[in-house]
A = this chain, B = another copy of it.
Amino acid sequence: MSALNQTVAGPPGTDRRALRRAAKIAVIVHEAWALSRAEGLAGILLRDLADRVGLRQPSLYAYFDSKLALYDAMFADGNRQLIAYTSDLPSTGDPVRDLTEFVARVVRFSGDDVERHQLLFQRTIPGFEPSPESYAVAVEFLERAGALLQAAGVTRAADIDLFTALTAGLTHQQVANDPGGDRWLKQAGRVVAMFLTEVQQSPRE
């Protein structure tokens, strides 16, 4: 990308510029999350966001083509946060423990930020649809979750659907009725044990 604007052996000016630009975009997205937590996801105003980063509202268009493009960047960022939050888990070799800890992390991740959960897992912004690049980040998370399931012996499509429903149910109730708490989070182990028992007992095809 930036290589197009740079001479082969020239000074790294363009790279530096690209870095500064990426850093500023990161700051804008960070402040957009803060604003979203204060005013709601749909309550983000470009003027308020500009104030937070020391710009005038039209100057934001130097970084984002539209407000939906901002949401798209937030979507990708949120999914990267989710991957980071669920990737440093030690593999104990016990699939029940591993899967439980994973589910607990996902539930806590959602319960800790209602608006982030809304953008990542609900279709609440009119007209917003993730770009292929941003959606790819979401797919990466799903693939990691799929690998964990496979390690636990869960491979049938119906079983995977069941697992996604169980996890979605815990996160949804946690976000909707006890944000920041643990009312459903603490049932993660019970749900995973129940799920794996069910998968083992259900008939092979």
Contact = CB atoms under 8 A, between A and B. Distances in A.
Nearest to A198: B194
Contact of A170 (B39, B40, B169): B169
Interface in A7-44: 39-40, 42-43
Interface stretch (A60-68, A93-101, A184-192): A184-192
Contacts of A167: 169
Given A118-B124, A123-B176, A165-B187, 8 more contacts: A42-B42, A124-B124, A161-B187, A162-B187, A162-B191, A166-B166, A168-B168, A190-B202
Contact of A161 (B40, B122, B173): B173
A183 interface: yes
19 contacts: A39-B126, A40-B127, A43-B126, A114-B123, A118-B124, A122-B176, A124-B124, A161-B184, A161-B187, A162-B190, A165-B172, A165-B184, A166-B166, A168-B173, A168-B176, A169-B170, A172-B172, A190-B202, A194-B194
A121 B122 CA distance: 11
A176 B183 CA distance: 24
Contacts of A123: 114, 176
Contacts of A6: none
A155 interface: no
> Sorted from nearest, which 5 A-B pairs have the closest CB atoms?
A169-B169, A165-B169, A40-B126, A124-B124, A168-B169
A127 B43 CA distance: 10
B190 A198 contact: yes
A141 B162 CA distance: 25
A164 B169 CA distance: 8
A158 interface: yes
